[in-house]
């Protein structure tokens, strides 16, 4: 009887230890972002402005400033537009151009550190982030997009301003690419 109780206690302790170890491994796998990575909604200072990325999604066409009326810029089959909701607040004593402050906005693969975005695409429309001047103390928010490869959107990644600027961690999966078997 005592032996059965001892075996049961040992088996329970082993099960608890295994579950704790598995939970620790899972947490480590979920925390893929490098140290110092900002979460959505966290603010960083960039080129005299405070920048915050609030949300992101993936689309295959956008109403860019290069199109008019109902015209849309359409990404090639192996590319997508990563659409970001960005908040900008001027801390400078002089007017600041938003497009210059965010000209180095790019998407970076975590595993390799390689840049997957080719260019910033400025949008038109009521919800677009204006690329013009921002007066001292003024703030704006809106959407801007990055032209990126669909292959890089299957895993969590970073959105960074400049090569050593602040970065935000994003986990936006390109479901359209997944559905069309582009990730194989």
pLDDT in tens, 105-130: 999 988 888 898 879 999 999 999 99
Mean pLDDT across the chain = 84
Residue 136 forms part of a structural domain: yes
Average pLDDT over residues 59-77: 89
How many Cβ atoms from other residues are within 10 Å of residue 147's Cβ? 20
**pLDDT tens string 5-25:** 666 766 676 666 666 666 555
Which range marks the domain in which residue 94 is found?
43-179
CATH of the domain at 173: 2.60.40.1240
Q: What pLDDT is stored for residue 83 in this prediction?
A: 95
DSSP 8-state assignment for residue 131 = -
CA distance 85 to 145: 9
Can you read off the two tokens belonging to residue 129? Answer: 């982030």
Q: With contact defined as beta carbons under 8 Å apart, do 73 and 66 qualify? A: yes
Residue 11 forms part of a structural domain: no
Can you read off the two tokens belonging to residue 164? Answer: 């050593």
CA distance 37 to 139: 23
Residue 56 forms part of a structural domain: yes
Distances in whole angstroms, Cα of residue 24 to Cα of each of 18, 58, 100, 111, 169: 10, 31, 43, 21, 21
Q: What pLDDT is stored for residue 77 in this prediction?
A: 81
Out of 19-33, 58-72, 90-104, 159-173, least confident range: 19-33
Residue 99 forms part of a structural domain: yes
H/E element, 120:
strand 117-121
Sign (positive/negative) of CA torsion 53, 171, 114, 176?
negative
pLDDT band at residue 32 under the 50/70/90 scheme:
confident
**pLDDT tens string 39-49:** 999 999 988 89
What is the CB-side half-sphere exposure of residue 178 using CA atoms within 13 A? 9
Average pLDDT over residues 20-33: 61
How many Cβ atoms from other residues are within 10 Å of residue 28's Cβ? 9
**Residue 180 scores a pLDDT above 60:** no
pLDDT band at residue 64 under the 50/70/90 scheme:
very high
Looking at the 3D structure of the chain, how many domains does it have? 1
**pLDDT tens string 89-104:** 999 899 999 999 999 9
Q: What pLDDT is stored for residue 139 in this prediction?
A: 94
Residue 170 forms part of a structural domain: yes
pLDDT band at residue 29 under the 50/70/90 scheme:
low
CA distance 6 to 16: 15
**Residue 184 scores a pLDDT above 50:** no
Q: What pLDDT is stored for residue 153 in this prediction?
A: 78
Q: What pLDDT is stored for residue 102 in this prediction?
A: 93
Residue 89 forms part of a structural domain: yes
Residue 49 forms part of a structural domain: yes
Residue 15 forms part of a structural domain: no
Q: With contact defined as beta carbons under 8 Å apart, do 89 and 81 qualify? A: no
User: Of how many residues is the chain composed?
Assistant: 184
Can you read off the two tokens belonging to residue 151? Answer: 């292959």
DSSP 8-state assignment for residue 63 = -
CA distance 180 to 171: 19
């Amino acid at each position: 009887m005592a032996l059965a109780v001892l075996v049961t206690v040992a088996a329970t302790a082993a099960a608890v230890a295994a579950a704790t170890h598995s939970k620790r491994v899972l947490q480590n796998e979920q925390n893929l972002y490098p140290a110092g990575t900002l979460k959505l909604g966290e603010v960083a200072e960039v080129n005299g402005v405070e920048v915050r990325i609030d949300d992101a999604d993936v689309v295959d066409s956008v109403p860019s400033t290069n199109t008019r009326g109902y015209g849309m810029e359409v990404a090639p089959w192996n590319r997508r537009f990563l659409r970001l909701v960005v908040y900008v607040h001027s801390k400078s004593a002089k007017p600041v151009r938003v497009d210059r402050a965010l000209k180095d906005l790019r998407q970076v693969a975590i595993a390799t550190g390689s840049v997957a975005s080719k260019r910033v695409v400025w949008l038109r429309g009521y919800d677009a982030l204006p690329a013009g001047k921002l007066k001292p103390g003024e703030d704006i928010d809106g959407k801007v997009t990055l032209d990126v490869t669909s292959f890089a959107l299957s895993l969590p990644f970073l959105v960074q301003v400049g090569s050593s600027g602040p970065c935000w961690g994003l986990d936006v999966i390109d479901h359209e690419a997944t559905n069309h078997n582009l990730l194989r």
